[in-house]
Structure 1
Amino acid sequence: MTRTTPDRPVPVETVFPELAAHRGRTTRLHPRPGSPGPHDSHVGGPMLWPDDEPWPVCREPHRPESEGYAPDGIRTARATGSRPPARPWPGTGTPGEDGPVPFTGLAQLFRRDVPGLAAGPDDADLVQLFRCSFAHGPHLEVRYRLRWRRAAETGRAGRLLTDPPEAPLLRWPDDLPEPCVLHPEEVDTYPWAEGDTLPAPLLARIDAWDDARAAEHGPDALSYQGDLSIPPGWRVGGFPSWPSTGPMPVPCPSCAAPARLLLTADGIEWDGSSLSWIPVEDRALVPRGNAPVQEGAATARPTRLRFGRDRDLHVFVCPADPGHPPRWVLS
């Protein structure tokens, strides 16, 4: 089933003609629970991974934990609509003390499926995203990993890995992705309106327009950030959103060139401030009155993942050399 973004509630470039020069494109991925295979683009499904290639593991020291959630217990609880039970951490309570911790596979994207997906090193056309489920260092940092591949070359592997290793316990239930198929859709997008992302006179006009709408319609009024600029949810390319941190420069860690946004991973597909972005096919899920947006396998949180405290995870890559290490930014 396709997913179709509704027209914006007001014509963006009619209200702000100057934005035409800043228009970009992003591909909304629209993950929805399903049964993807290793040859599909997906969130939370099986990776296209040769059986004789070691699965990625995190070898860094991890923050001690007192309890966690078993992956199978999380899956059972989701199937029954209950909350998984927490289990005491065995031994000293330090993940990885007895060896490295397997990364959790979050997503894989084929360029053939996703318009606008940048090429990787050596023209790789498949990118795979992983996360270590445990905290690192005094600031509880999370470690991610990106793996680029040539899809056809990997698909010719004699055997594919069908049972990848899992960490015995995860810190939180939302560390385990729900298998989701994707429904990619290209839409127009415009820069986040803050700092130096747009010319100062245009930013002033946008702020004045937002203020006037809020004064006339109250807290539920349309806004540039919420309704006209950047869609919520998983997306490829386009502009980064900066709701928590504000805009910041993101240089390549190897050569200091300004990095380019590869993809954004988001824990939600919509919330109370972004209801206008709900696809036409999902409009029946719009909350009515004061009812909250339902959190479930096919509604606002289809992937069941969370990044930070409901923040966006931006993955930036070097436009000069895609082989340089990526940058991970929670915004």
Structure 2
Amino acid sequence: MTRTTPPRPIDVEAVFPELAAYRRRTTRLHPRPGRPGRHDSHVGGPMLWPRDEPWPLCRERHQPETEGYAPEDVRAARAAGARPRSRPWAGADAPGTSEPVPFMGLAQLFARDVPGLAAGPGGADLVQLFRCPLTHGPHLERRYLLQWRTAAQTERAGRFLGAAPEVPLLRWEDELPRPCVVHPEEVDTYPWAEDDTLPAALLARIDAWDDAQTAEGGRDAPLYQGALSIPPGWRVGGHPSWASTGPMDIACASCATPMRLLLTAAGEEADADSHTWMPWEDRDPPLTGMASIRGGESVSHPSGLRFGRDRDLHVFICPTDPGHPPRWVLS
């Protein structure tokens, strides 16, 4: 089934014509629980990984753990609509040493499926996103990995890895992605309105307009940030959201070039401020607002993943050389 974003409740360029110069296309992925295959674009499904190629390992030291969630327990609990129970780590297996840990595959995207997906090094047209399932350092930092491939060359490998290796226990149950098929859809986006993301005079007009909207329509009135600029959820390209950190300048560590947003990974697909972006196919037409959204967890939190404290994970790449190290920003 396709997913169709409703028209914006207000034509933002009619109110602020200057925004036309800042318009960018983003591809919403609309992940929904399903059974994707290794040759599909997906969130949380099996990776297209040649059997003879070593699986990626995180070799940094990990924070000690005393308990966690077994992947098989998480899967069983989700199938039953329940919460999994935690288990203690076995002493010899407990993290906190420099033993390598297998990365967890989060998503893979083919350019043939996803409009606007940037090309990788050497014209690579398949990108795979991974996260270490354990934490690092006193601030519980995370480690991510981006793997670029040429799809046609990889698919000629013939023999592929069946099941990816996993750690015995996960620190949190939302480390394990729920396999989701994706429904790519292109929409227009506009910059986050804060600091210097737009000219100061335009930002002031947007703020004044938001205040007038709220005064007239109350808390349900459509505002620029939540309803008109950037959709929630998994998406490729477009503008980054900066709800937690405020706008940041992201430069390539190798050449200092301003970096380009490759993709955004998110846990939640809608909240009270952004519910107007929820597709028609996931709504009950007689109802309005958040009450109209149907499908429960499979629609509001389809992947089962979380990034930080319900933040967005932005993955930036260098437009001059996509082979330069990416940057990861939780915002």
Point out 4+ residue stretches in structure 1 off by more than 6 angstroms: 285-295
- Deviating more after overlay: 207-216 vs 288-297: 288-297
| Residues 26 and 236 in structure 2, CA contact (< 8 A), matched pair in contact too | yes
Q: Does 1:312 align with 2:293?
A: no
CA distance in structure 2 between the partners assigned to 1:244 and 1:235 by the alignment: 18
Letter matched to residue 30 of structure 2 = H
CA distance in structure 2 between the partners assigned to 1:142 and 1:325 by the alignment: 16
Q: Which residue of 2 aligns with 1:14?
A: 14
Q: Which residue of 1 aligns with 2:70?
A: 70
Q: Does 1:121 align with 2:106?
A: no
Q: Which residue of 1 aligns with 2:38?
A: 38
Within-5 A mapping of 1:68-147: 68-91=68-91, 94-95=94-95, 97=97, 99-147=99-147
Q: Which residue of 2 aligns with 1:222?
A: 222
Distance 1:170 1:186, change over 3 A: same
| Residues 314 and 330 in structure 2, CA contact (< 8 A), matched pair in contact too | yes
CA distance in structure 2 between the partners assigned to 1:289 and 1:112 by the alignment: 34
CA distance in structure 1 between the partners assigned to 2:289 and 2:300 by the alignment: 17
* 1:133-181 deviation line (CA, Å, top 9, x unaligned): 1110121110000000000101011310011101111011110000000
Distance 1:98 1:137, change over 3 A: closer
Letter matched to residue 253 of structure 1 = A
Q: Which residue of 2 aligns with 1:273?
A: 273
CA distance in structure 1 between the partners assigned to 2:208 and 2:148 by the alignment: 44
Task: Calculate percent identity across the aligned residue pairs.
Answer: 71
Letter matched to residue 160 of structure 2 = L
Distance 1:58 1:39, change over 3 A: same
Once the 2 structures are TM-superposed, how far is the Cα of residue 286 of structure 1 from its aligned partner? 9.9
* 1:63-102 deviation line (CA, Å, top 9, x unaligned): 1111100000000000000000100111167426372111
The alignment partner of 1:84 has SS state of coil
| Residues 33 and 297 in structure 1, CA contact (< 8 A), matched pair in contact too | no
Distance 1:326 1:290, change over 3 A: closer
Once the 2 structures are TM-superposed, how far is the Cα of residue 293 of structure 1 from its aligned partner? 7.2
- Deviating more after overlay: 213-222 vs 278-287: 278-287
| Residues 109 and 126 in structure 1, CA contact (< 8 A), matched pair in contact too | yes
RMSD (Å) for aligned C-alpha atoms: 1.8
> Structure 2: which 5+ residue stretches go unaligned?
none
| Residues 59 and 98 in structure 2, CA contact (< 8 A), matched pair in contact too | no
CA distance in structure 2 between the partners assigned to 1:287 and 1:197 by the alignment: 35
> Structure 1: which 5+ residue stretches go unaligned?
none
Q: Which residue of 1 aligns with 2:152?
A: 152
| Residues 41 and 109 in structure 2, CA contact (< 8 A), matched pair in contact too | yes
| Residues 8 and 227 in structure 1, CA contact (< 8 A), matched pair in contact too | yes
Q: Which residue of 1 aligns with 2:254?
A: 254
TM-score by length of 2: 0.96
CA distance in structure 2 between the partners assigned to 1:15 and 1:222 by the alignment: 13
